[in-house]
Structure 1
Amino acid sequence: MDPIKESLLKTSKAAKKEKKGKLISEFCIALIIIAVVAIFYFVASKGLATFFTNKINLWDFLTKTDWNPGVKDSHGHPEVGALPMIVGSFGVTFLSAIVATPFAIGTAIFMTEISPKRGYRIMQPVTELLVGIPSVVYGFIGLSVVVPFIRRTFGGSGFGILSGTFVLFVMILPTVTSMSVDALKAVPRHYREASLALGATRWQTIYRVVLRAATPGILTGIVFGMARAFGEALAVQMVIGNAALLPKNLISPASTLTSVLTSGIGNTVMGSLQNNALWSLALLLLLMSLFFNLVVRWIGKRGAVK
């Protein structure tokens, strides 16, 4: 064969490297998919055993308020009511998001609109520092500062949803702030210029133009913050009281799905009702994480369409 024709038909080194890189990428993607499917299968198989093996009614599991899987009620049914933990988890999650959102948006506006140079240079390291603090440190601070403050101010033991809210508020604040900053930065500059050219003031431009254009990104940050708050275990466990009781108010001891899981999973026998019930709580957590991810994707698609 002609050497020139042979060199043209021969696969180049660049093409070989590209093919090799593509195979490595596909292998990594397949590995991630397998890992996710395996996690879902493992948690689901353990969690669903409560309903299929132990014959616990799903509605009773979600609505009853007594949690003591090793004890049976007057009708001979195990006490596996998860409602107190569900209420506790959603309570601290929504309250912390409500408290953190105004602070996060205000900080983001200051960093991007009010003082984009000096403010960003000062606040960005502070935000990154808050992200790097371990959860146990937040828990110790909450135990040493927040719980006594709640006790002196509102009475009671100091442990409860309100203490967990204050701790989670600080923990999710950097997440919501960072994503809000990115959302505000993504708003095109000509939006601001057009608003100012039409006679709007600086604050009118921020409120009516910039914030509205950045709403999908800000909502995504809020949902991500809620997802972190919903799955937080150690810090909340240290300040919420760990009482598997339906909370009567914000200052009464309560519990969350994660706090009951972390405190009880090591004290049960694999395959027992107590263990299966805890895996059912883990399955509920996993489904809620999936729900938060779906909400984020929905918000992103809605923002993209606009």
Structure 2
Amino acid sequence: MTIQSPHSKDLSQTNHWLLEGMKRYRRDLGAHIFIYAVAIFIILASLSLTIFLITKGVQLFTHDGVSLFTMIFGSVWDLHDGKYGALPLIAGSFAVTVLAALFATPLSIGTALFMGEIANKRGRKWMQPVIEMLVGIPSVVYGFIGLTVIVPFIREHIGGIGFGLLASLIVVGVMIAPTIISITVDGLLGVDQSLREGSYALGATRWQMISRVVIPAASPAILSAILLGMARAFGEALAVQMVIGNTAVFPKSLVYPAATLTTTITSSLGETVEGSTANHSLWALGLILLAMSYVFILVIRWIGRKRNA
């Protein structure tokens, strides 16, 4: 019979601990390498796309001799006639974005207040899948509904040919509403419960508590939600293209056809030849979209820093 000494038992246990520690170290090292590799890939992909779009977009000004001032402030856009004034397109993009935000924000904040402050857990449980379903609907479906329902309704009951800013703001407003709702609900739920209790202790009603305590406390999150919704509206192409009318002019009214940067790119891309001035002008429009996207991101980050300050 072999008798194992206490020293050999301690040594065996120490070796076991060392082996387990090495295994955990390898797993942690592999996880760290994977996470950093993914982060580096995303950064490089973003930089590559930005550099590529800048390289393509500036060719209109460096190679074809079109003035940046002429493009930004020119009022006539006609690829066939060699006129690249993008001001009507920029105005159309901002009009759709702002009007869609004005349409969606009251509906979204009201829904978020119901989910975050009024509804019980069961009501919130029923509302959440509805919001997620709206997020998951493809933009082409929104555009098709707008084309077959909203456009004829506007034409028959309001006026015009149906295509225009009004149809676009309704379609895009419904599209961005789930984004605003989701982020606003998270902001409302993030408000410290002691603020609500303190408000009730001072004799405030539920509406006074919501309007004077919760909403001001969650206002940075609400503003971020609205800006994220506007960023999505500014970059939306397919749904807007189906209902706006695609006419590169300043709209005379809400029921008058218009065009945006994105709809012009998608509708004209197949009509241009790679390397031509017309093709370069579309890349320049994409560069303008990229610049505006960065502006939205910077504003959102600035609001986030103020929220955490």
How does the TM-score come out when normalised to structure 2?
0.92
* Residue in 2 that maps onto 1:250: 254
Q: Among 157, 180, 186, which residue is 2:184 paired with? A: 180
Q: What secondary structure sits across from 2:266 in the alignment? A: helix
* Residue in 2 that maps onto 1:20: 30
Instruction: Give the whole-Å Cα distance in 1 for the aligned partners of 2:273 and 2:120.
Output: 56
* Residue in 1 that maps onto 2:124: 120
Kindly state the Cα deviation for residue 9 of structure 1 after the two structures are TM-superposed. 8.7
Assess if the C-alpha contact under 8 Å between 1:105 and 1:177 holds in 2.
yes
Structure 1 residue identity aligned to 2:99? L
The list of structure 1 runs, each at least 4 consecutive aligned residues, that deviate by more than 4 angstroms after superposition, is 6-11
Instruction: Give the whole-Å Cα distance in 2 for the aligned partners of 1:193 and 1:131.
Output: 34
Q: Does 1:259 align with 2:263?
A: yes
Instruction: Give the whole-Å Cα distance in 2 for the aligned partners of 1:139 and 1:9.
Output: 62
The aligned runs of 1:141-152 (5 Å cut-off) are: 141-152=145-156
Q: Does 1:204 align with 2:214?
A: no
The aligned runs of 1:73-88 (5 Å cut-off) are: 78-88=82-92
Structure 2 spans left out of the alignment, 5+ residues: 1-9
Q: What secondary structure sits across from 1:214 in the alignment? A: helix
Identity percentage over the alignment? 51
* Residue in 1 that maps onto 2:3: none
Q: Does 1:218 align with 2:222?
A: yes
Kindly state the Cα deviation for residue 205 of structure 1 after the two structures are TM-superposed. 0.3
Q: Among 37, 48, 61, which residue is 1:51 paired with? A: 61
* Residue in 2 that maps onto 1:74: none
Assess if the C-alpha contact under 8 Å between 1:147 and 1:158 holds in 2.
yes
Root mean square deviation, CA, Å: 1.9
Instruction: Give the whole-Å Cα distance in 2 for the aligned partners of 1:99 and 1:273.
Output: 38
Assess if the C-alpha contact under 8 Å between 1:96 and 1:169 holds in 2.
yes
When Rg is computed on C-alpha atoms for both structures, the one with the higher figure is 2
Structure 1 residue identity aligned to 2:54? A
Q: Among 230, 236, 239, which residue is 1:232 paired with? A: 236
The one-character-per-residue Cα deviations of 1:32-72 (angstroms, maximum 9, x if unpaired) are 1111111011111110000111111111101111111331x
* Residue in 2 that maps onto 1:75: none
* Residue in 2 that maps onto 1:157: 161
Kindly state the Cα deviation for residue 121 of structure 1 after the two structures are TM-superposed. 2.5
Instruction: Give the whole-Å Cα distance in 2 for the aligned partners of 1:207 and 1:235.
Output: 35
